[in-house]
Amino acid sequence: MTQNSTVTGRASNKSNGKRPPGRPRSEHSRQAILRSTLKLLRQQGFPDLSIEAVAADANVSKATVYRWWPNRGALVADAFLESAEQELQFPHTGSVRSDMSRQMRRLIRVFRSSRGKVVAALLGGGQSDPELLEAFRERFLWPRRRQAYQTLQRGIDRGELPADTDLDLLLDSLYGPIYFRFLIRHDELTEKFADKICGVVLKNCGPA
Amino acid sequence: MTQNSTVTGRASNKSNGKRPPGRPRSEHSRQAILRSTLKLLRQQGFPDLSIEAVAADANVSKATVYRWWPNRGALVADAFLESAEQELQFPHTGSVRSDMSRQMRRLIRVFRSSRGKVVAALLGGGQSDPELLEAFRERFLWPRRRQAYQTLQRGIDRGELPADTDLDLLLDSLYGPIYFRFLIRHDELTEKFADKICGVVLKNCGPA
DNA sequence: TTAAATCCGAGACGTATTGTTTTGAATCTT
DNA sequence: AAGATTCAAAACAATACGTCTCGGATTTAA
């Protein structure tokens, strides 16, 4: 199998720089497929997304989709993750609390946008497809977590946080409520919510 | 339509106590269907659950299932919610913090049990089926929330919490991290986690 | 310039599952 | 006994699946 999707691994070509013979993969088709996947996912949700519909919308043959992605999950994961690769950076304001609250506000903004539906589809589908959930964690969650660690560490260095702070616990306390409201939808998810959470969790950690 | 599922509304019979003519609904079949649904859901997850399999496992005709439940979602919601109706009471220890942490421990225990798979299926499916999510909120979340309000109010009355506490914010801060780890699965969800969250969120609220 | 390799879109194919409908029998009220 | 409603079983059309074949396009290497 020559699966070349980002999910299944194998980023670029074989180690030598030479291009193999034969017609190269159509970058145009690849992007059209990912774009149509996002588009349909915004409308229909994960379970109702059919490969047939994606192929039709992208003006592409079904076989082309099946050639490059082993299943629907890998396709959806690639579509979302490639679109969110360079997003949601952490600011450097000089205060942990405002660094965090500002980034949390950005996340909420994404969740409220049309991209939110895609994230929900990804996490919803992930509840019955471990690979889908793992792709979300590895490609979306952890990269941001690593940045968050650094942000919190700066707070420790500045004395705003105790040196023995449990960083994972703290991050789950900050982001858990956001994901909670986002996924359960029992209460509205406004950007102000970010500040309120920080008020609860980072009470004694410098200025708001 | 004469849908009689608990999800779609209309709990029992028409207001008058008289039984309508005709063969009555088979209570045996109804329970067998719900039981089989739970059983299969524990094994397979929501998207792989077929009505055919449920009917076969319950020794019941497909048409019988379709007659009483409009779709898979309603069936799953009924199956889970009927099974969790009387669960997860709040204790009265005399301290908000330990009242909350003990109930949170119970919730985590449920999430870790075989019933956790059913909840995950419900919430996962709910991401693309609004009715499913609403059923979860109305039949599971809100009843417990109402108990939680009372628990927190007792804490206010005892002076452990400020009188102007934002109860919804506080509850989301306590339970959000649990649902977060449960649904994203980026870190282990142990019962000790409940105590740690309380340590962060209820720092100054009486004994642990 | 030619041959080999790989890709492309279009669409047919058999399979599986869906939700609906029909049939004949069973059960209950009046 | 008559009328209503249920039941299990099975046939049904519709949809999506994943695979395959076809003719043609694009690229490298000989």
| Cross-chain Cβ contact A186/B137 below 8 Å | yes
| Per-residue pLDDT reduced to its tens digit, A88-111 | 889 999 999 999 999 999 999 999
B26 touches strand D (CB under 7 A): yes
| Per-residue pLDDT reduced to its tens digit, A172-197 | 999 999 999 999 999 999 999 999 99
Q: How much is the pLDDT for B208? A: 66
Q: How much is the pLDDT for A186? A: 98
Helical (H) or strand (E) element with B201:
helix B192-201
| Per-residue pLDDT reduced to its tens digit, B101-139 | 999 999 999 999 888 888 998 999 999 888 889 888 988
Q: How much is the pLDDT for B117? A: 87
Q: How many CB pairs under 8 A join A and B?
A: 127
User: Which residue of A123, A186, A201 is in closest CB contact with B127?
Assistant: A123
Give the tokens for residue B27. 């209570």
Q: How much is the pLDDT for B9? A: 36
Q: How much is the pLDDT for B120? A: 92
Q: How much is the pLDDT for A3? A: 39
Q: Shortest Cα distance from B54 to chain A (angstroms)? A: 18
Q: How much is the pLDDT for B118? A: 87
Residue B183 forms contact with A (CB below 8 Å): yes
User: Which residue of B136, B173, B186 is in closest CB contact with A173?
Assistant: B173
Q: How much is the pLDDT for A182? A: 98
Q: What mean pLDDT comes out for the span B58-79?
A: 88
Is pLDDT above 60 for A80?
yes
Residue B187 forms contact with A (CB below 8 Å): yes
C-alpha closest to that of B47 among A162, A76, A66 = A76
Reported confidence tier of residue A18, pLDDT bands at 50, 70, 90: low
Q: Shortest Cα distance from A124 to chain B (angstroms)? A: 4
Residue with the larger pLDDT of the pair B190 and B46: B190
Q: What's the pTM? A: 0.87
| Cross-chain Cβ contact A200/B203 below 8 Å | no
C-alpha closest to that of A80 among A139, A18, A167, A153 = A139
Q: What mean pLDDT comes out for the span A14-32?
A: 76
Footprint of strand C on the protein (CB under 7 A): A 2, 20-26, 29-30, 59-64, 67-68; B 18-24, 50-52, 62-63, 66, 71-72
What is the DSSP-derived secondary structure letter of residue A42? H
Provide CB contacts within 8 A for B60, sequence distance 6+: B29, B32, B33, B54
Reported confidence tier of residue A54, pLDDT bands at 50, 70, 90: very high
CB B151 within 8 A of CB B96: yes
Reported confidence tier of residue B8, pLDDT bands at 50, 70, 90: very low
C-alpha closest to that of B114 among B190, B43, B35 = B43
- Residue A99 phi, psi dihedral angles, 5° rounding: -55, -50
Provide CB contacts within 8 A for B101, sequence distance 6+: B194, B195, B197, B198, B208
Rounded (10°) CA dihedral B85, B88, B92, B97: -140
Q: How much is the pLDDT for B17? A: 53
Q: How much is the pLDDT for A208? A: 66
User: Which residue of A123, A125, A168 is in closest CB contact with B187?
Assistant: A168
Query: A-chain residues within 8 Å CB-CB of B124?
Result: 123-128
Residue A186 forms contact with B (CB below 8 Å): yes
| Cross-chain Cβ contact A181/B180 below 8 Å | no
| Per-residue pLDDT reduced to its tens digit, A131-185 | 889 989 988 899 999 999 999 999 999 999 999 999 999 999 999 999 999 999 9
Q: What mean pLDDT comes out for the span B33-59?
A: 89
Query: A-chain residues within 8 Å CB-CB of B183?
Result: 123, 127, 179, 183
* Residue environment code for A125-155, b if the CB has 16+ CB neighbours within 10 A, otherwise e: bbbbbeebbebbeebbeebbbeebeebbebb
SS3 for A118? helix
